[in-house]
Amino acid sequence: MFVQRGGGVFACLLVLLLPVLFPNLFSSPLGHASPSVFSEWNAPKPRHLPLLKGALQRPSSYGWQSNPWSPLPDQGWKSCKSSVTPVLPRKSRGYVQVFLDGGLNQQRMGICDAVAVAKILNATLVIPHLEVNPVWQDSSSFTEIFDVDHFINVLKDEISIVKELPKEYSWSTREYYATAIRATRIKTAPVHASAKWYLENVSPVLQSYGIAAIAPFSHRLAFDNLSMDIQRLRCKVNFQALAFVHHVNELGDDIISRLRYPSAKSAAVDKTYLQMTTDQKAIQEPLKFVVLHLRFDKDMAAHSACDFGGGKAEKLALAKYRQVIWQGRVLNSQFTDEELRNQGRCPLTPEEIGLLLAALGFDNSTRLYLASHKVYGGEARISSLRNLFPLMEDKKSLVSKEKRAKIEGKASLLAALDYYVSMQSDIFISASPGNMHNALVGHRTFENLKTIRPNMALLGQLFLNKSMGWSEFQKAVQEGHKNRQGQIRLRKEKQSIYTYPAPACMCQAL
Ligand SMILES: *[C@@H]1O[C@H](CO)[C@@H](O)[C@H](O)[C@H]1NC(C)=O
Ligand SMILES: *[C@@H]1O[C@H](CO)[C@@H](O)[C@H](O)[C@H]1NC(C)=O
Ligand SMILES: *[C@@H]1O[C@H](CO)[C@@H](O)[C@H](O)[C@H]1NC(C)=O
Ligand SMILES: *[C@@H]1O[C@H](CO)[C@@H](O)[C@H](O)[C@H]1NC(C)=O
């Protein structure tokens, strides 16, 4: 766009900003592949150069703004103390088995729902089977991701859970159901089925065979019209029973220590810290950090049908991808880029997220942890963000290859690690709505932690206005995000209890 509107101006600015925009030409602190400006003419260029210039010159104090790091005030909501003593059904009515699709965060919701359904049926739950997702390709099992003993133990007074079926039912496997129609498989659970549906349709199967295998199971339990006990049980699973395996937590703690105490260079940061005297600890205040979940992959870019500034080559590549994957049938493709941006339907690019964070008052000393899989367009796409936030880290920059070996290439374990780190951050922000965003919004709401939800429609409109200066942009952004930082939003009908845990799973402190 810039090139068309004023190639000359762009060229001059580019030359002036070259060392700033492409510092990685000369050094690559994170060890990412450095793109060469000269070999990648199609590399995505900054699209909001005047704003980027303004942001790069932003002062390093907050000035008239409020401190962006200030934690959320107490909002009067707490996790509920259970008033009723949980009751384990006297006799299990059989075994419930589920097979869960999707990535880690979708499976997480499926696990919570499976516990609830087993409870509704007074059945014994078999540890859920996690399907291999065609996109993420991770075959890790429940036990390889979650601490299974903790899971069973936290829920032991409410529901019985077994790691494996007893011998007499060992025939009930995924392969068994894949090869023929079977009487013990429940295939017809409607999306958001009621408790009544399960009692009417699954109880008889349990009665006859002692086992019921429910597949598909994702999104198969309603969010409304369930007893308070069942809703609280779902939250207990999500927020208490599901903990990751030890080595994920350990890697996560390692990352967090490095973000909070960057000067303690030793491999054993924890030990160094533990050996310090109280006085030393007081001197070395833990630093704060932001986790940015940046899902900006080709799939998402193509699906949104927006223009991301990569020029003709990128447009063609994304159009081709849409054709191959969805036969070109992408709802958004009937709209122009401008229409989509006005409606807030374009995922924010790394550059745009950087401008948002800068406008909210985060200066260039902010420690930013990138939680993401891979970024479409590579390092070139991230360079503007990196210029705004030079202290940007990720798993690769903070954890040695040897330590990462156990989780390398395993999408679910990598996502688990990012989830763990995200839960410990001072600020969490996600560049696009999705399962990971929703899961963390819900969990952080439960813990009253600050979470910035980008106002996509507002930002879309602001970025379309090419005559807007930095200070106007900043004022509009701050105004538009005052109430998007983690304030409690009560769940409305049909909304997910995992994204909106209040009021069902949280109680108002008196
Ligand atoms: C941060 O910005 C200030 C100007 O506001 C500049 O002097 C300083 O060098 C920058 N620091 C880094 C690490 O880029
Ligand atoms: C489950 O057990 C509870 C308590 O034992 C009982 O009140 C309820 O009717 C049972 N429900 C089913 C479907 O068996
Ligand atoms: C919940 O139940 C009530 C009464 O049975 C019904 O009117 C309402 O539509 C139900 N809500 C949902 C979201 O299913
Ligand atoms: C763009 O921003 C300028 C400066 O704030 C403002 O005067 C103008 O009305 C805006 N244009 C549109 C179309 O919103």
Query: What are the tens digits of pLDDT across the range 229-262?
Result: 999 999 999 999 999 999 999 999 999 999 999 8
> Do both 208 and 253 map to the same domain?
no
Q: Give distance in angstroms: CA of 326 to centre of ligand 1.
A: 45
**What proportions of the chain, in percent to the nearest 5, are helix, strand and coil?**
45, 10, 45
Closest ligand to residue 224's CA: 3
pLDDT at residue 149 in the model: 98
In a domain, 42, yes or no: no
> Do both 213 and 308 map to the same domain?
no
Lowest mean pLDDT, pick from 67-71, 119-123, 279-283, 323-327: 279-283
Position of tokens 């880690």? 104
Q: Give distance in angstroms: CA of 157 to centre of ligand 2.
A: 15
CA–CA dist 322, 246 (Å, integer): 40
Q: What is the mean pLDDT of the chain?
A: 86
> Do both 415 and 268 map to the same domain?
yes
> Do both 368 and 439 map to the same domain?
yes
> Do both 300 and 232 map to the same domain?
no
Q: Is the pLDDT of residue 36 over 50?
A: no
| CB count in 10 Å sphere of residue 365 | 10
> Do both 224 and 316 map to the same domain?
no
pLDDT at residue 21 in the model: 38
Strand locations in 229-287, DSSP E?
none
pLDDT at residue 43 in the model: 66
In a domain, 331, yes or no: yes
Supply the residue whose CA is at minimum distance from atom 3 of ligand 1.
60
> Do both 164 and 269 map to the same domain?
no
Supply the residue whose CA is at minimum distance from atom 9 of ligand 1.
364
Domain count, the chain: 2
439, exposed or middle or buried, with CB in 10 Å at 0-12, 13-18, 19+? buried
In a domain, 89, yes or no: no
Q: Say which residues have a Cβ less than 8 Å from residue 246's Cβ, sequence separation at least 6.
A: 147
| Ligand 2 atom at minimal distance to the Cα of residue 199 | 13
Q: Is the pLDDT of residue 68 over 80?
A: yes
Tokens encoding 102: 């999707």
In a domain, 485, yes or no: yes
More confident residue, 62 or 405: 405
pLDDT at residue 272 in the model: 55
CATH number at residue 171: 3.40.50
| Residue 447 phi, psi dihedral angles, 5° rounding | -100, 5
> Do both 273 and 418 map to the same domain?
yes
> Do both 225 and 252 map to the same domain?
no
More confident residue, 79 or 51: 51
Domain boundary among 208, 243, 278: 243
Q: Give distance in angstroms: CA of 292 to centre of ligand 1.
A: 21
pLDDT at residue 282 in the model: 56
In a domain, 493, yes or no: yes
In a domain, 11, yes or no: no
Confidence band for 368, pLDDT divided at 50, 70 and 90: very high
| Ligand 1 atom at minimal distance to the Cα of residue 391 | 13
Closest ligand to residue 472's CA: 4
pLDDT at residue 32 in the model: 40
> Do both 385 and 500 map to the same domain?
yes
More confident residue, 144 or 12: 144
Q: pLDDT (tens digit, 9 = 90+) per residue, 265-312?
A: 544 445 555 566 555 555 678 999 999 998 888 888 888 888 888 888
> Do both 266 and 339 map to the same domain?
yes
Confidence band for 433, pLDDT divided at 50, 70 and 90: confident
CA–CA dist 111, 242 (Å, integer): 9
Q: Give distance in angstroms: CA of 19 to centre of ligand 1.
A: 14
Q: pLDDT (tens digit, 9 = 90+) per residue, 157-203?
A: 999 999 999 999 999 999 999 999 999 999 999 999 999 999 999 99
Residue 239's domain comprises 95-243
> Do both 501 and 400 map to the same domain?
yes
Q: Is the pLDDT of residue 12 over 70?
A: no
In a domain, 380, yes or no: yes
Q: Is the pLDDT of residue 5 over 80?
A: no
Q: Say which residues have a Cβ less than 8 Å from residue 392's Cβ, sequence separation at least 6.
A: 30, 368, 369, 370, 382, 385, 386
Closest ligand to residue 121's CA: 2
pLDDT at residue 29 in the model: 33
- Ligand 3, pocket-test mutation among 191, 225, 226, most atoms within 8 A of CB: 225
pLDDT at residue 298 in the model: 84
Domain boundary among 220, 243, 266: 243
| Ligand 4 within 6 A of CB of 465 | yes
pLDDT at residue 155 in the model: 96
pLDDT at residue 315 in the model: 86
Domain boundary among 217, 243, 269: 243
In a domain, 54, yes or no: no
Q: Are 246 and 252 in contact (CB under 8 A)?
A: no
Q: pLDDT (tens digit, 9 = 90+) per residue, 465-489?
A: 999 999 999 999 999 999 999 999 9
